[in-house]
């Protein structure tokens, strides 16, 4: 069980679906606001899955990888 606020590296197997988290959970883990998360997703800086018209979900490991590659984290 993960007890810290840091996101762990990719922990799922190739055949296993990633655990998706909400905008507010990702914001808490990264120490930014939900508005910032939505802005980054809109700008394409972080990957997201759109569920419905306004609801977003995130693979925390994929987001962390994306931020590392872009130098934003």
Q: Which two tokens stand for residue 29?
A: 């883990």
Cβ atoms < 10 Å from Cβ of 37: 25
User: What's the confidence (pLDDT) of residue 14?
Assistant: 61
Q: How far is residue 58's CA from residue 66's CA, in Å, rounded to a whole number?
A: 12
User: What's the confidence (pLDDT) of residue 20?
Assistant: 96
Across the 73 residues of the chain, what is the mean pLDDT of every consecutive 10-residue run?
A: 39 70 97 97 96 94 93 50
Mapped onto helix, strand or coil, the DSSP state of residue 21 is strand
User: What's the confidence (pLDDT) of residue 16?
Assistant: 74
């Amino acid at each position: 069980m993960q007890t810290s606020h840091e996101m762990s590296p990719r922990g799922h197997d190739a055949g296993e679906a990633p655990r998706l988290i909400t905008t507010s959970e990702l914001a808490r883990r990264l120490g930014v606001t939900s508005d910032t998360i939505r802005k980054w997703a809109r700008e394409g800086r972080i990957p997201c899955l759109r569920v419905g018209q306004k609801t977003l979900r995130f693979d925390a490991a994929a987001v962390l990888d994306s931020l590392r590659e872009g130098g934003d984290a």
